[in-house]
Amino acid sequence: MKKKAKETQCVHYFGEKPYESQGINTPVEPASAFKYGEGMVNVYPRYFNTYNQKVINSQLASLEGGEDCLIFGSGMAAITTALFSLLNSGDHAVFYNELYGGTFNLLSSEFEKKGISFTLVNKQTKDAFEKAIQSNTKVLYFESPTNPLLSVVDIKLMVDIAKANGLTTLIDNTFASPINQNPIEFGVDIVLHSGTKYLGGHSDLSFGAIVSSNEIIKSIHSTAINLGGSLNPFDCYLIERSIKTLDVRVKRHNENALALAEFLDAHDKVKKVYYPGLVDHDKHEIAKSQMKGFGGMLSFELATQNQEDVNQFVDSLQLVCKALSLGGVESTICSPALTSHIKMTKQEREAIGVTDGLLRLSVGIENINDLKADFENALKVI
Ligand SMILES: *Cc1c(COP(=O)(O)O)cnc(C)c1O
């Protein structure tokens, strides 16, 4: 059968079914003990091979254009498992420095203890990366778009550098989702997701995913079994339900975010908007060449840097909820200076563009005019 379009793949499951059921959805099988015997596979949740896990693996692999997938209890479990499977004591890794806070903490607090060294590169040039690569470098890791400033990393450039130096490439594709960006098509080896965000999409689930080739997934699988970050069948069921609407949700997130980015960009109380879909974003052309949509995340800086005004603005929003995390159907907003970047000094934060007036917005799927009206009203207050 010809591979179906993503909209169809989200709604229907085309993978193998271990048994027939008359229900049109996958039966939930809450078993931790499975029969064994001649000719039977040893099934166990922590072996990542239950029916409910395999349905998600197959669906996510297909949506990302990979061959296989493993799902975990959180995005960090997926990231940790992938990295610790590829890196051993004495190895070195190169990271593009705009990283999710949890990933940064993993490097800074766990790598040295394991005898793994790393270099953070802060410029997107071939030169900067080649300077960072050593004879013991094994992996090149990056995110795109990045948190919280929505920078875009040139995927082709990363793949070219990695290929020339024999490195395995990993991308955290959480912000884009498999609907907007499929890095495997550009030659990336491993795609990582915090499914807690867009894949789950309803702010009620925590999971993570690794998508890659059969060969790489096979090699990560044995580490995954040892680290034990597997997922339960009830969450698998919720993921399956979430994926059915992934394509429609993400398309609405894209539409709303672009419209809000343009609206805020034109507002005189807003100093700057960071959104890869805006034509004046410094990496807009690269974003256009590697993304099918620009995603539901945007950041903006208010003209005022006064923390009280910023707080008052956020508290005046009625529809948009002040909350951490992202990727849900409901719009949420947070101040990176007061949340993800609170441990940095004001100077350190400002050096990377995280000012007191910066706000990160996860644009939901509400009506766009209601969202604009909410911002218009809150901007009037300051
Ligand atoms: C949230 C997030 C993670 C971590 O995922 P968890 O599900 O919270 O473990 C990793 N990367 C990015 C970009 C994220 O937004």
For residue range 50-84, what is the model confidence (pLDDT) as tens digits? Answer: 999 999 999 999 999 999 999 999 999 999 999 99
**Index of the ligand 1 atom closest to the CA of residue 196:** 7
**Nearest-CA residue for atom 2 of ligand 1:** 194
Q: How far, in Å, from the CA of 91 to the mean position of ligand 1?
A: 24
Mean per-residue pLDDT, 303-321:
95
Most confident of 75-84, 102-111, 342-351: 75-84
Residue 350 predicted with pLDDT over 90? no
Q: How far, in Å, from the CA of 72 to the mean position of ligand 1?
A: 12
Q: For 246-268, what is the mean pLDDT?
A: 98
Please state the rounded mean pLDDT for residues 130-152. Answer: 97
Which residue has its alpha carbon closest to ligand 1 atom 5? 75
CA 75–ligand 1 middle distance (angstroms): 5
Q: What is the DSSP string of 122-166?
A: -S-SHHHHHHH--TTEEEEEEESS-TTT-----HHHHHHHHHHTT
**Beta-ladder partners of 140:** 94, 169
The pLDDT value given to residue 351:
82
Q: What is the dihedral of CA 130, 134, 139, 140, to 10 degrees?
A: -20
Q: Catalytic: which of 68, 91, 154, 172? A: 172
Cα–Cα distance, 306 to 104 (Å, whole number): 29
Model confidence over 272-285: pLDDT tens digits?
Answer: 999 999 999 999 99
Q: Is 13 a catalytic residue?
A: no
Which atom belonging to ligand 1 lies closest to the Cα atom of 207? Answer: 7
Instruction: Give me the pLDDT at residue 348, please.
Output: 83
Arithmetic mean of pLDDT, 237-251: 98
Q: Whose CA is nearest to atom 4 of ligand 1?
A: 75
Give the number of the atom of ligand 1 that is nearest the alpha carbon of residue 102: 4
Q: Which atom of ligand 1 lies closest to the CA of 326?
A: 15
pLDDT value at residue 3: 87
Main-chain dihedrals φ then ψ at residue 188, nearest 5 degrees: -70, 140
Ligand 1 center from residue 93 Cα (angstroms): 20
Tens digit of each residue's pLDDT (9 = 90 or more) over 199-236: 999 999 999 999 999 999 999 999 999 999 999 999 99
Inter-residue contact 93 to 141 (CB < 8 Å): yes
Q: Check whether 18 has a pLDDT greater than 80.
A: no
Amino acid at 259: A
Position 343 scores a pLDDT of: 81
For the CA of 79, the nearest atom of ligand 1 = 10
pLDDT at 49: 95
pLDDT in tens, 169-202: 999 999 999 999 999 999 999 999 999 999 999 9
Residues 319-323, mean pLDDT to the nearest whole number: 96
Catalytic residue among 13, 51, 100, 274, which?
A: 100
Mean pLDDT value across residues 251-262: 98
Question: Is the pLDDT confidence value at 21 over 90?
Answer: no
**Which of 6, 54, 197, 252 is the catalytic position?**
197
Distance 21 CA to ligand 1 centre (A): 35
Joined together, the tokens standing for residue 220 give 């990560």
pLDDT grade, residue 28 (50/70/90)? very high
96 in catalytic set:
no
* For residue 349, pLDDT beyond 90: no
User: CA 110, CA 107: separation in Å to the nearest integer?
Assistant: 6
Could you give the residue ranges of the DSSP H alpha helices within the chain?
Answer: 6-11, 51-64, 75-86, 101-106, 126-132, 155-164, 177-180, 214-227, 233-244, 246-265, 284-290, 307-316, 346-351, 368-381
For the segment 37-45, the average pLDDT, to the nearest whole number, is 92
Among the listed residues 231, 235, 222, 195, the one whose alpha carbon sits nearest the alpha carbon of residue 211: 195
Could you confirm whether 360 is annotated as catalytic? no
* Helix/strand/coil for 219: helix
pLDDT for residue 16: 82
Element of type H or E holding 359: strand 358-362
**Average pLDDT across the chain, whole number:** 96
CA angle 77, 94, 102 (to 5 degrees): 35
More confident residue, 96 or 305: 96
CA–centroid distance, 67 to ligand 1, in Å, is 23
Q: What percent of the chain has pLDDT over 70?
A: 100
Q: Atom 7 of ligand 1 has which residue's CA nearest to it?
A: 75
Distance from residue 339's CA to the centre of ligand 1 (Å):
15
Known catalytic membership, residue 46: yes
CB 201 within 8 A of CB 174: no
pLDDT above 90 coverage of the chain, percent: 89
Which atom of ligand 1 has the smallest separation from the CA of 195?
7
Pocket of ligand 1 (CB under 6 A): 74-76, 100, 102, 143, 147, 172, 174-175, 194, 196-197, 206, 208
Q: Which residue has the tokens 């949509």?
A: 293
